[in-house]
Every structure is written in C-alpha cells, then in structure tokens.
Amino acid sequence: ITLRDTRISNRGQGKLFNALKHSHLFASLSDEQLDRVCHNASNTKLKENQALFKQGDEVHRFYVVLTGQIKLFVLSPKGQEKVIDVVSDGQMFAEALMFMDKPHYQVNATAITETEVLGIDAKDFKAMLRDSVDTCFFLLADMSIRLKSLIHEIDTLSLQTGNCRVAAYLLDSTPENTDTFKLNIPKNLIASRVSVKPETFSRILKELAEKGILSVKGGEITILDREALKTMSTGR
C-alpha cells in the first residue's frame, strides 16, 4: 500500500489550530506560530498494519496520533519483533529526533488499526523553538518523563520476572478511580511489550484469575486484589 501524506485544507487547518491550542506542547506558541505549524503539517491516514516509517528512514516529521494506534517496534536479526511502545490518541512520538544531526528513525512505526496521524515538519518546528522558550521547557519535560519511564522499563526487564512485568503492566494500564478496564491492544503485542511469549502472558493471566487477584472476561480485566497485584509487581 502506498503511503500518502495529504496537505491539510484551510478548513482542516482551522480545526487543527483549535485542537493544538489545547495541547500542552503547542499551547505556548503564538497564534502566528500555530498557523505556521498547521500550514506545514500533513495528514496521513493508515490502514491496519500499514507502515508509517521504517527504522533507518530519514526523519522529516514527528507525529501526533489523531485517531487509532501506532506500534513502535524493532526487529531482531532473526526477524523477531520487539514492541517498544504503543502510541494512542493525542500522543506524540519521534519528536526528540529533530535535535539530531541528519536524524534517522530508530524504530519502525506501523498502524495497529485504521489510524490517522498529524505530521509536524521537524526542521521548521525546531527553528520555531528558538522563539519560544516555554515550548522548549514543555518539550524537555515531556522527554525527561519518557526517559525516566524507559530507564524504569530497562530495570524491570533486567531484574524482574515475567510475572512481575505482567503485574506491573496491568497496574499501569488501570485508569484512575476504577478497577475494571479493557486491554486496548492485542494480547500478543502486550506480551512483546513486557518481553514474554504470548502463551506465557495468557498463562499468567489465568494464574492471577485462579488466585482471585483479578478476573478476565475476553479483553476486560477487573482487579480484585490490588495489594496482591502490587506485591507481585515488585517481586516480593
């Protein structure tokens, strides 16, 4: 399938302007700067399993997911897939690469479902940052949070068992003020995300259900014993 970037119409730019105005990254930009972002942005619609970019491609844009989900992953020499992250509505990715000289994407990006992304011109946005100190700090804060999360994930993958990683993932996936939620991505992708085999992930869910720690109904999870799940996530 051929990937097509579409320039945004004037009407579409107006809707995009209002949406970006409420985004923490773009909120500090002036109206003139936001107009510039919208004018240089492109809109890309992806079908299920369609690639947005591949590892090693030259970076021209960073992206915001408007609808759908993007899977960021790398492939081993044997072709095995390791999911690095799943990016959903309103989330941004690949923005840090704009600060590198002659940057190339470090991962592959593929749509999990039908997905629409907004492509922001990386070179032009980097030039605009020189005039917006507040946006620089917002961007640095966002990248710092992600870096901290990645360091935590490396520690988890290195030091904890599969049971610990699954328990931690379930806790992190639980929305605030509720114990019931739906797994919003396929189980095989979650398994790759926490570095276990799909059958191992299913077995761990079954064991947690048998112990009364949670209940599983299709893709819906209900945490029944949060303290027990927290204890398991720490490996104690």
**pLDDT tens digits for range 220-236:** 899 999 999 999 888 76
* Prediction pTM value: 0.74
Going by C-alpha positions, the residue among 101, 109, 97, 124 that lies closest to residue 37 is 124
H or E element that contains 65:
strand 61-67
Region of poorest pLDDT, from 41-55, 138-152, 166-180: 138-152
User: Are the beta carbons of 166 and 196 closer than 8 angstroms?
Assistant: yes
| Sign for the pseudo-dihedral over CA of 50, 52, 53, 58 | positive
* Cβ neighbours around 169 below 10 Å, total: 19
Give me the torsion for CA of 95, 100, 106, 112, rounded to 10°: 20
CA distance 110 to 44: 12
Tell me if residue 178 falls in helix, strand or coil. coil
Each residue's pLDDT tens digit, 21-63? 767 677 777 888 888 888 888 889 999 999 999 999 999 999 9
CA distance 4 to 117: 11
Region of poorest pLDDT, from 96-100, 133-137, 138-142, 150-154: 150-154
